[in-house]
């Protein structure tokens, strides 16, 4: 301990407090300007996707097996007239009549379901890249459970993201 006169005790050293370093003052963040409500631009509602945005391809007759892995495509089985119209004019985005797309693993159960019903017109299997239509898709849990694989509805008019 140090004596009051500041001299060290015998055999000891003078201890004094270290000087405190001053703290760096925080920089005040500028308050964020509140966005003007009149500057809001609502997202654009779409009624269809052009053929250039989401090109549809006809799947030729080939054997599908249950062992095939995911391939990045979504498939839809449509009447011939509807399929050809969509290939020419694009995909329709309508929540009242959504198009159903499924992954490859759901095709065999889908073919089996359609083979039980009498076909009045020819059916065409179309495919489209999932990445092209993903923002407009919604999950279809009913068909997914029925077919045992992921199924989607093309019904959003405002894309996600």
pLDDT tens profile 87-113? 999 999 998 999 999 998 888 888 888
Average pLDDT of 63-73?
Answer: 73
Per-residue pLDDT at 63? 65
Q: How far is CA 67 from the centre of its chain?
A: 26
Per-residue pLDDT at 66? 61
Compute φ and ψ for 115, nearest 5 degrees. -75, -25
Which tokens is 100 given? 């159903």
Average pLDDT of 59-67?
Answer: 70
The per-residue pLDDT of the chain, averaged, comes to 82
Q: How far is CA 101 from the centre of its chain?
A: 15
Residue 98: count of CB within 10 angstroms of its CB:
18
pLDDT tens by residue, 69-86? 778 899 999 999 999 999
Rounded CA separation 158/142 (Å): 23
Which stretch of DSSP H or E encloses residue 78? Answer: strand 73-79
Residue 9 has pLDDT above 80, yes or no: no
The sign of the CA dihedral 102, 148, 105, 132 is positive
Contacts with 85 (C-beta within 8 Å, 6 or more apart), sequence order: none
Higher local confidence (pLDDT), 143 or 34: 143
pTM of the model: 0.69
Which residue, 40, 41, 49, is CA-closest to 157? Answer: 49
Per-residue pLDDT at 56? 94
pLDDT tens by residue, 20-41? 777 776 666 666 777 777 887 7
């Amino acid at each position: 301990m140090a004596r009051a006169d500041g001299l060290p005790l015998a055999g000891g050293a003078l201890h004094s407090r270290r000087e405190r370093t001053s703290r760096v003052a925080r920089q005040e963040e500028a308050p964020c300007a509140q966005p003007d409500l009149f500057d809001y631009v609502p997202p654009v509602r779409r009624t269809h996707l052009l053929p250039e945005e989401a090109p549809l391809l006809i799947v030729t007759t080939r054997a599908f097996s249950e062992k095939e892995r995911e391939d990045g495509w979504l498939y839809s089985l449509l009447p011939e007239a509807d399929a050809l119209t969509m290939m020419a004019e694009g995909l329709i985005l309508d929540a009242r009549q959504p198009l159903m797309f499924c992954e490859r693993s759901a095709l065999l159960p889908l073919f089996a379901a359609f083979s039980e019903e009498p076909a009045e017109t020819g059916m065409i299997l179309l495919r489209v890249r999932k990445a092209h239509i993903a923002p407009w898709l919604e999950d279809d849990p009913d068909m997914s459970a029925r077919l045992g694989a992921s199924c989607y509805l093309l019904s959003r008019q405002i894309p996600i993201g």
